[in-house]
Structure 1
Amino acid sequence: MAGSMSKAPVRAYAPASIGNVSLGFDLLGAALKPLDGSLLGDEVEIRPATAFSLGVKGAFAHKLPTRAEDNILTQCYHHYHEKAREQGHELEPCSMLLYKNLPIGSGLGSSASSVVAALDGLNAFYGEHFNQQQMLLMMGELEGQISGSVHYDNVAPCYLGGLVLMAEQADRIALNLPVFDDWYWVACYSGIKVSTAEARRILPQQVGLADTLTFGRQLGVFVHALHSGDRKLAAAMMQDVIAEPYRKALLPGFDDARSFSMQEGALAFGISGSGPTVFAVTDNLATAEKINQWLSTHYIQNSDGFSHICQLDPQGSTANKV
């Protein structure tokens, strides 16, 4: 049967995210929302059309493949249509316009943001053919085409918002965790590129027993601390024993940035995803402002870099008619 298509254009937004959140390698992710109201995430506009087309704008558009067929959004479009066809919906074409606001290889879930905005926008445009779990499965699959394997620690928080633990069960891909509303997250992108594949290659193939036990203890205690409202205990667990000891070698100035942030009273400091973005967590806005200023001056390497004081974005992606 023909798809019931909303004729109204849709504009979708998907926030940047912190993968791993230090202690939860591949299992934790958090969505970011700058305090100043700026959009830290990609946007996709979808309109009725007689044939599919894709346009790209935005600060980092020039970093994407020049051919539309090589862009992940083209794959999102075809994948969504194919899945709809399997359910008996033959959908009309649309045009898509990507506003690429996030830098590529930044550790802020750039590809996940594009995928989530595209698929959430398509689902809203065509009349919500898929539920949340079906959408997450699609998003993970498409994101996996870029990173080489399926990981939900960026797409899940980007889509669902907040702080998310990956369950990866067929009916429950991800679980939203309680968060502390009085925590500030300073996220600083240095401006250089670190590929996810390169950042994975640098990791050891096996993890020692002591580090494995520490990883499990930290994650278990952290989740307990969130549910029981114990800020001090939660912050004490936010140390990366799996990836950071190896990946920090790819990030010029990491040790100095960590040292300054912790001396100024940060509760935690770590690498966002594969880097080079770093993040500091504090429960004091003045401390956040001081760390943000220092990172802007000392950690940023070039004109592409930026730093934002954020809180966690409780909403995740949005798709609205325009």
Structure 2
Amino acid sequence: MANTRAFAPASIGNVSLGFDILGAALAPIDGELLGDWVEVEDAPQFSLSVDGRFADRLPPGENSNIVTRCYDFFQQALVSNNKPILQVKMHLHKALPIGSGLGSSAASIVAAFYALNEHANKAFDQDTLLLMMGELEGQISGSIHYDNVAPSYLGGMTLMTGKERPVCSTLPVFDDWYWITCYSGLSVSTAAARNILPRQYELGTTLTFGRQVGVFVHALHTGDRALAASVMQDVIAEKHRKTLLPKFDEARAYSLQQNGLAFGISGSGPTVFAVSNQLESAKRIQTWLNEHYIQNQDGFSHICQIDSAGARVLAA
């Protein structure tokens, strides 16, 4: 029986300044794989099995699982393009917590589509597959956005173009930046975190948003680390969403005191991230977050750098 196992990394959506249009994939510096993996294996009929640290938090039944929906969507796409359908069963290893702000649903979606496409001898090209991923992610969050699925699939830091082809552009990153991520152990619904936001923003706020994104992209391309860090501030969502995150302000204050370059909410939260260009500073920030920001036994933290690989096949 042929089988294909694919891994998709966790990601930071928004990266503070780029609401819905910026995302970055994460790779812990200790070599741990932070993300979900999905295995596809030849079988006479479809079934889905699940394991992993956070498997018990998924909705019960294979028909309610996003991986099953990915399978159905992929099969329909094969039929629509006159390609042979797959006869497979699937397995999801759920290592990312649901509602964490680490792109949990995106990682499952990306791993599922990537594994299915590899098993089908790369039936669809990169942009087509990314559009499928965005469609499924939108069914969960209530709107189509690529700030988690794009970096999880392609790796690196991605900027969404607003076009179908190409969906996104990969940006240069600073290899000497450490990204300290900390999941508190709480759960925040992406849909709920979107509903808490205003429906309209003042002109000054939108101008600041656009300026920050432009300056940040310019700074990445010119290698200006100080300029890039100076605009990593969220003027769209943070002041509203931080009300859902206990000890957010204290965590920010400590991180900046420890020479952190930036601090923000990863996606919709409750995961937060700090950026540092000093490993010892990153370790101090991680220790404080472990002791003060984590709320229960589900919480965890990692010191990461940007994962340049994105989704990839793992040895079965």
Shorter-chain TM-score tier: over 0.9
What value does the CA root-mean-square deviation take over the aligned residues?
0.8
What's the CA shift for 1:320?
Answer: 4.3
- Deviation digits for residues 101-121 of structure 1, max 9, x if unmatched? 000000000000000000000
Distance 2:113 2:287 in 1: 36
2:213 and 2:84 map into 1 onto residues whose CA distance is: 44
**Per-residue displacement from partner, 1:251-306 (whole Å, max 9, x unpaired)?**
00000000000000000000000000000001000000010111011000000000
The 3-state SS of whatever aligns with 1:188 is: strand
- How far off is 1:201 after superposition? 1.2
1:319 shift after superposition: 2.0
> 2:27 aligned with 1:38, yes or no?
no
- Per the normalisation by structure 2, the TM-score is 0.99
Distance 2:143 2:208 in 1: 25
Q: What is aligned with 2:206?
A: 212
Q: Secondary structure at the match of 1:234?
A: helix
Q: Report if aligned partners of 1:8, 1:321 keep a CA contact under 8 Å in 2.
A: no
CA–CA distance in 2 between the matches of 1:203 and 1:17?
22
Q: Report the secondary structure of 1:140's partner residue.
A: helix
- Map of 1:278 onto structure 2: 272
Q: What is residue 60 of structure 1 aligned with on the other side? A: 54
1:169 CA drift (Å): 1.1
Partners of 1:136 and 1:76 in 2: CA distance: 12
Helix, strand or coil: the match of 1:149? coil
Instruction: Tell me whether 1:160 sits opposite 2:143 in the alignment.
Output: no
Q: Which amino acid aligns with 1:219?
A: V
1:50 aligns with 2:13: no
Q: For residues 266 and 298 of structure 2, what CA distance do their matches in structure 1 show?
A: 17
Give the alignment partner of residue 317 of structure 1, picking from 307, 311, 314. 311
Alpha-carbon distance between aligned partners in 1 of 2:305 and 2:79, rounded to the nearest angstrom = 39
Residue 321 of structure 1 deviates from its aligned partner by: 5.6
TM-score, length basis structure 1: 0.97
Find the residue that maps to 2:180 and give its secondary structure: strand
3-state secondary structure, aligned to 2:161: strand
Give yes or no for the alignment of 1:72 onto 2:66.
Answer: yes
Query: 1:17: which partner in 2?
Result: 11
The total of aligned residue pairs comes to 316
Q: What is the letter of the counterpart of residue 57 of structure 1?
A: D
Deviation per residue, 1:156-203 (Å, 9 max, x gap) = 000000100000212110100000000000000000001011111111
Match of residue 186 from structure 2: 192
**What amino acid is the match of 1:88?**
N
Report the counterpart of residue 167 of structure 2 in structure 1.
Answer: 173
Poorly superposed stretches of 4+, deviation over 4 Å: none
Q: Percent identity?
A: 61
Structure-to-structure mapping, 1:223-302, within 5 angstroms = 223-302=217-296
Q: Secondary structure at the match of 2:24?
A: strand
Unmatched 5+ residue regions in structure 1? 1-6
Structure 1 match to 2:119: 125
For 2:162 and 2:197, the matched residues in 1 are separated by 23
Q: 2: distance between equivalents of 1:238 and 1:163?
A: 14
Q: Is the 8 A contact 1:124 1:320 kept in 2?
A: no
Which amino acid in 1 is paired with 2:63? E
Contact 1:9 1:321 (C-alpha < 8 Å) held by counterparts:
no
Opposite residue 301 of structure 1, the aligned amino acid is Q
Q: Quickly say closer, same or farther: Cα 1:188–1:87, change in 2 above 3 A.
A: same
Which structure 2 residue ranges, 5 or more long, are not aligned? Answer: none
Partner-residue secondary structure (3-state), 1:14: strand
